[in-house]
Amino acid sequence: MVQAPANSKTVLGIETSCDETAAAVLRLTDTGPVVLGEVIASQFDDHAAYGGVVPEIAARAHADVCDHVVKETLAQSGLTLDEIDGFAATSGPGLIGGVMVGMMTAKALALASGKPFIGVNHLEGHALSPRLSETVSFPYLLLLVSGGHCQFLSVEGLGKYKRLGSTIDDAVGEAFDKTAKVLGLGFPGGPAVERMAQTGNPAAVSLPRPLLDRPGMEMSFAGLKTAVLREAQARELTDETKADICASFQAAICNVLTVKSQRAMQAFREAHPDIDQPGFVIAGGVGANQALRSALTQLCVEQEFSFHAPPLKWCTDNGAMIAYAGALRLQAGETSDLTLAARPRWPLDEEAAASAPIFGGGKRGAKA
């Protein structure tokens, strides 16, 4: 094993917030991050029959495989526990049972080895994920789109996030999953809808564009889900009809997110007038959708922003982004106490969440 550089930090990160048990060993040096080993154990087969993630099943599955995933990741990296500088784990937001599995595993490793533990905000992992593969300078504009989140954030630096806009009800990833379930396309829903949309007519079905008639960057997708359900109930669901509904739904999503992104870009420029070409980042599982990437890439050209997105393998939940966020925190001298509790909800901009909460009372979904 080659000796690690003197100023480097090598961190093992664990991600268990939803339905992937993931781990990665990452080394952070002066020239950037290097992933030395990475393993993701999917739970697709465990949840497929239900058309969505079942929290109890997810938690048990994480508990069954987490230690094996960590062991395999270490073997890939060629490192021993003694050569790891710290252990990071998603500490929220997410499905609390799964989050606790990853946290307890990382805490146990930290305690046994006498190394630091770093609790990581899952959203921070996504926010920083494009920097795993390329240089993206702070500050930059982030569109975070996943199964549990849809929001615009100004990423000013590590731990410095300003919310510009958010969904007021459902996340865009949930809308994809529910559309797939209504049409009987299987799980996971996002890729299934995207595949079916490739052969459909995006103008075939008239679907709403929620909140486009209002100023600002807030979004809503609950009504769009309901509209898809009504269209599906009113038609004979042939493969052609399903493809048309998927294409029309995807077009509506792209339209809403493109218009809202343009407004966010204007707000970001007003806040940072000295930056000639700001960066625009899309992250989260829905960021893997090629139609959305294409629409936002074109918008960036028109608005003179540089477009950035993590490689597809780091769009969905993964251990590399957690290890990277943990390594940055460790490099900055920040660690977590072993008494740190898991958090089902953990906004990046806690000040905005407290002063201007997006959600009211009641059930708020898995990660919202």
Averaged pLDDT for residues 265-282: 97
Is the pLDDT at 348 greater than 60? The verdict is yes
CATH topology of domain 137-309: Nucleotidyltransferase; domain 5 (3.30.420)
Domain limits, the chain: 9-129+314-345, 137-309
| pLDDT averaged over every residue in the chain | 93
Cα–Cα dist 154/265, whole Å: 10
The closest of 288, 367, 259, 302 to 130, measured between CA atoms, is 288
pLDDT tens for 248-271 read 999 999 999 999 999 999 999 999
Beta-carbon contacts of residue 307 (< 8 Å; ≥ 6 apart)? 280, 282, 296, 297, 300, 301
Averaged pLDDT for residues 176-182: 94
Averaged pLDDT for residues 184-195: 92
Task: Specify whether the CB–CB gap between 179 and 187 falls below 8 A.
Answer: no
Is the pLDDT at 326 greater than 60? The verdict is yes
Cα–Cα dist 192/177, whole Å: 9
Cα–Cα dist 188/248, whole Å: 19
CATH topology of domain 9-129+314-345: Nucleotidyltransferase; domain 5 (3.30.420)
Residue 2: predicted pLDDT: 52
Cα–Cα dist 183/280, whole Å: 33
Q: Say what percent of the chain tops pLDDT 90.
A: 86
Cα–Cα dist 272/187, whole Å: 41
Cα–Cα dist 153/142, whole Å: 5
- Identical fold for domains 9-129+314-345 and 137-309, yes or no, is yes
Residue 255: predicted pLDDT: 97
Is the pLDDT at 215 greater than 80? The verdict is yes
Beta-carbon contacts of residue 229 (< 8 Å; ≥ 6 apart)? 178, 182
CA distances (Å), 342 to each of 7, 52, 87, 326, 337, in order? 30, 23, 15, 16, 12
Poorest-pLDDT segment among 160-169, 196-205, 352-361: 352-361
> In 272-344, which ranges are continuous DSSP H helix?
290-303, 319-331
The end-to-end CA distance of the chain, in Å, is: 42
Is the pLDDT at 1 greater than 70? The verdict is no
Residue 6: predicted pLDDT: 65
CA distances (Å), 301 to each of 12, 164, 221, 279, 307, in order? 37, 21, 27, 11, 8
Cα–Cα dist 64/144, whole Å: 30
Residue 3: predicted pLDDT: 64
Is the pLDDT at 343 greater than 70? The verdict is yes
pLDDT tens for 42-76 read 998 888 888 788 999 999 999 999 999 999 999 99
Residue 357: predicted pLDDT: 81
pLDDT tens for 74-123 read 999 999 999 999 999 999 999 999 999 999 999 999 999 999 999 999 99
